[in-house]
Copies of this chain bind each other. A is one copy, B any other.
């Protein structure tokens, strides 16, 4: 009995290290235990709750790192960024972001999160979107938290164009997938 708990806590710690934005509900499902058990495990392991974990990451400021736009013009909150490589942002879907009729998030908000992250990840003063190819793979509902992950795939410096792929998730589910062709210029 003790062994099982010990092993679960070890795997729990690893899981949270890999994905700090996983919820207690998602962990409970993954480990087939109650949410209460996950909370007790976190207490014993001194792992703060999700809200605290996000706050800890968000306290790191990226103002100086983002070059292509002022950070308050990014839609969503940047959690991690490595210019011309990758970036992560979180966007909380609130009442003002959904269709009144069915509480489904409007596509342009998911697009705005992904597109502004694709701009922010570019290591140049000017970054504009030339083309985008996007898929909405699953409806997002009010109250859900969308984690967007941008990856710079291809830098054609000779053409001043860069491809940025953005995948957005709710939990482990892919909800949006976009390929952005960005025009960039150091002036």
The answer to whether the Cβ of A133 comes within 8 Å of any Cβ in the partner chain is yes
Which residues of B are found within 8 Å of A108, using beta-carbon distances?
75, 108, 111-112, 115-116
On whether the beta carbons of A131 and B136 are closer than 8 Å, the reply is yes
Contact with B along A100-126 (1 / 0, CB 8 A): 111010111001100110000000001
What mask results when residues 43 to 71 of chain A are scored 1 for a CB within 8 Å of chain B, else 0?
00000000000000000000000000110
Mark A116-149 against chain B: 1 for CB-CB distance below 8 A, else 0: 1000000000101111111110010000000000
A31 in the interface (beta carbon within 8 A)? no
Contacts of A116 on B, CB cut-off 8 Å?
106, 108
Docked Cα-Cα span, A100 to B70, in Å, equals: 8
Please indicate the chain B residues that have their CB under 8 angstroms from the CB of A126 in the complex.
102
B133 in contact with A129 (CB, 8 Å): no
Number of copies: 2
The residue on B at minimum CB distance from A126 is B102
On chain B, the residues within 8 Å of A135 by CB distance are 130-131
Q: Contacts A73-B99, A99-B73 given; indicate if A107 touches B129 (C-beta within 8 A).
A: yes
Separation in Å of the A140 CB from the closest CB of chain B? 11
Q: How many residues of A contact B (CB 8 A)?
A: 27
Cα–Cα, bound, A107→B118 (Å) = 11
Closest CB in chain B relative to A168 CB, distance in Å: 14
Scoring A126, A132, A139 by chain B CB atoms within 10 A of each residue's CB, the highest score goes to A132
Nearest to A70 among chain B residues (CB) is B100
Contacts A115-B107, A129-B107 given; indicate if A101 touches B70 (C-beta within 8 A): yes
* Residue pair A134, B136 in contact (C-beta under 8 Å): no
B128-A139 in contact (CB<8A):
yes
Q: Are B131 and A101 in contact (CB under 8 A)?
A: no
Is the beta-carbon distance between B104 and A128 smaller than 8 angstroms? yes
